[in-house]
Homo-oligomer: A and B are copies of this chain.
Amino acid sequence: MSSDDIGFFFNPRSIALVGASPKPSSLSYTILESLEKIGFGGRIYPINPRYEEIGGLRCYASLGDIDDVIDIAVLSVPAPGVIEVMNENFENVRGAVVVSSGFKEIKGEGERLEAELKRLAEAKGVRVIGPNCLGIYDTVSKLDTFFITRERVKRPDRGGLSILTQSGSFASMIVDEIASEGIGIARIVSYGNKVDVDETDCLAFLSEDEATKYVVLYVESVEDGSRFLDVASRCTKKKPVVAVKVGKRDTGLKATASHTGATASRYEAYEAAFRKAGIIEVDGYEELKDACRVLNSYSPGCGKRILIITNGGGIGIGIADACESLGLSVPQLSEERINHLKSKLPSFAAVGNPIDITGNGWDDHYADALKEGFGTEYDIAIVAVLWGPPLLREGIVDKLKTVADACDKPVLICSPGGKFTRKMSAEFERKGLPVFATPESAARAAAILAGGRKVNGQ
């Protein structure tokens, strides 16, 4: 099927919530709340024969009672109930999001129920996301089927990042972190056991989706490798795609199987497929977060020659170490550029790579070092900003931003520290300069822009 087949999931005009309940402890109560809080503008139909009304909305006994086409039926009933509902009334439903667990991830009866769910979906011509998933969080169509409260898990604002994940726990974690870090989201799909809709279907949709500027994949397993490779290869020609493969080793493999019922094949096959498709592979959760942050500001595909500017010698060296351990290069300044920089910077500065303006330096020296140091010899600048030195003023944010814009090459800020530092980091971020709190994370982000650690031979 083409990506058009699932496009309605990302632009629904009507949603039915099967298993709706007015009890705050129920998952469906939270789903209804999520839909309201994101401001879903379409029609919402709660379904539960035991109620006349839920949350001010008329409640229906069954899907068949609704005189409307249902774009998405969200099914939040125990697994056997899912089969029952689909057997009874599903004629006016285009797609289902089955959040319920109790399917393939449970052996025996669960596997039987999932096979039946698959058969029914095909027989009724209904596309199904799930089961055993959170469903969709979508800032474009204002859709949120996540059964986790906003008190505990924040939701991000609109932005260019879309995320595809089998794991609901990953979806919950990353949505919360990303919201706290101020990164924007277009669409997130948690597709769980993927009885029907899988990562490749979603990727095909995101590939054509104008709201999606870059994609993150959290992969436990891919079944149809050649179709994935085909779709992913086309997507990476249009926008960056980052993937993390979880369950790399023995233990991981076993846990993956019991988690979403997936059978992961050998990690090396994934590694090769990602490389072939032009996907940037990251190693785990930390690197994935770095990717989300840096791709929010810059596109990958630049070179790997790093210029480091710092006001603290130690951290400058730490960044150089971290860059080189990831296969990036930290070439020395040319004799000519050293002489030029020495004429522009005060005598207390140590001119090399790193360029160390030292604790005696201030904003203007940073701006000069970046402007005069970048040249054509470097592809990415990592600028370490330590807020201890008293001469450094808050004006550095605007000054670095101005020079960075003029350079038109990626400038990453590395700024470890506590409360004051974090306040200033938020200022940098507001201006579009991504900030990394450790030398390692800044280096990982630079490696992602340079094509990923695999590209760099690591």
Residues of A near any B CB (own CB < 8 A):
25, 27, 30, 101-102, 105-106, 147-149, 151-154, 165-170, 172-173, 176-177, 179-180, 218, 220, 246-252, 254-256, 258-260, 283-286, 289, 310-318, 320-322, 324-325, 330, 332, 348, 350, 352-354, 356, 358-360, 386-391, 416-422, 438-441
Interchain CA distance A154-B423 in the complex, whole Å: 13
Shortest 3 CB-CB contacts between residues of A and residues of B: A169-B312, A167-B314, A259-B313
CB-CB under 8 A from A101, the residues of chain B are: 348, 358-360
Interchain CA distance A106-B358 in the complex, whole Å: 12
Chain B residue at minimum C-beta to C-beta distance from A314 = B167
**A136 → B minimal CB distance (Å):** 16
CB-CB under 8 A from A316, the residues of chain B are: 255, 259
Interchain CA distance A248-B312 in the complex, whole Å: 17
User: Can you list 22 A-B contacts with CB-CB less than 8 angstroms, sorted by A residue number?
Assistant: A25-B391, A101-B360, A152-B390, A152-B420, A168-B312, A169-B311, A169-B386, A170-B312, A172-B417, A173-B416, A177-B417, A179-B418, A180-B422, A246-B318, A249-B325, A254-B332, A255-B313, A258-B352, A259-B313, A284-B438, A285-B318, A285-B416
B247 pairs with A321, CB closer than 8 A: yes
CB-CB under 8 A from A390, the residues of chain B are: 25, 27, 30, 147-149, 152
- With a 10 A CB-CB cut-off, give which of A255, A258, A353 has the most chain B CB atoms: A255
- With a 10 A CB-CB cut-off, give which of A148, A167, A246, A354 has the most chain B CB atoms: A246
A170 pairs with B418, CB closer than 8 A: no
CB-CB under 8 A from A252, the residues of chain B are: 317, 320-321, 324
Choose among B177, B322, B359 the residue that contacts A169 (Cβ–Cβ < 8 A). Answer: B359
A417 pairs with B169, CB closer than 8 A: no
Known: A313-B255, A352-B255. Is A151-B386 also a contact (CB below 8 A)? no
Chain B residue at minimum C-beta to C-beta distance from A267 = B321
Choose among B251, B421, B441 the residue that contacts A320 (Cβ–Cβ < 8 A). Answer: B251
Choose among B180, B350, B421 the residue that contacts A176 (Cβ–Cβ < 8 A). Answer: B421
CB-CB under 8 A from A321, the residues of chain B are: 246-249, 252, 284
Known: A152-B420, A388-B153, A418-B179. Is A440-B359 also a contact (CB below 8 A)? no
Interchain CA distance A227-B242 in the complex, whole Å: 49
CB-CB under 8 A from A350, the residues of chain B are: 105, 255, 258-259
**A285 → B minimal CB distance (Å):** 5
Interchain CA distance A40-B400 in the complex, whole Å: 39
Chain B residue at minimum C-beta to C-beta distance from A313 = B259
Interchain CA distance A11-B16 in the complex, whole Å: 72
Choose among B166, B251, B285, B356 the residue that contacts A332 (Cβ–Cβ < 8 A). Answer: B251
B148 pairs with A389, CB closer than 8 A: yes
Choose among B172, B311, B320 the residue that contacts A388 (Cβ–Cβ < 8 A). Answer: B172
- With a 10 A CB-CB cut-off, give which of A30, A101, A167 has the most chain B CB atoms: A167
CB-CB under 8 A from A387, the residues of chain B are: 152-153
B218 pairs with A314, CB closer than 8 A: yes
CB-CB under 8 A from A419, the residues of chain B are: 154, 180
Chain B residue at minimum C-beta to C-beta distance from A170 = B314
Chain B residue at minimum C-beta to C-beta distance from A258 = B350
Interchain CA distance A277-B296 in the complex, whole Å: 45
B353 pairs with A251, CB closer than 8 A: yes
CB-CB under 8 A from A154, the residues of chain B are: 418-420
Chain B residue at minimum C-beta to C-beta distance from A360 = B101
B317 pairs with A256, CB closer than 8 A: yes
**A197 → B minimal CB distance (Å):** 18
Interchain CA distance A438-B30 in the complex, whole Å: 26
A439 pairs with B284, CB closer than 8 A: yes
Interchain CA distance A254-B317 in the complex, whole Å: 9
B259 pairs with A317, CB closer than 8 A: yes
Interchain CA distance A440-B244 in the complex, whole Å: 13
Interchain CA distance A173-B315 in the complex, whole Å: 9
**A267 → B minimal CB distance (Å):** 9
CB-CB under 8 A from A151, the residues of chain B are: 420
Interchain CA distance A251-B176 in the complex, whole Å: 38
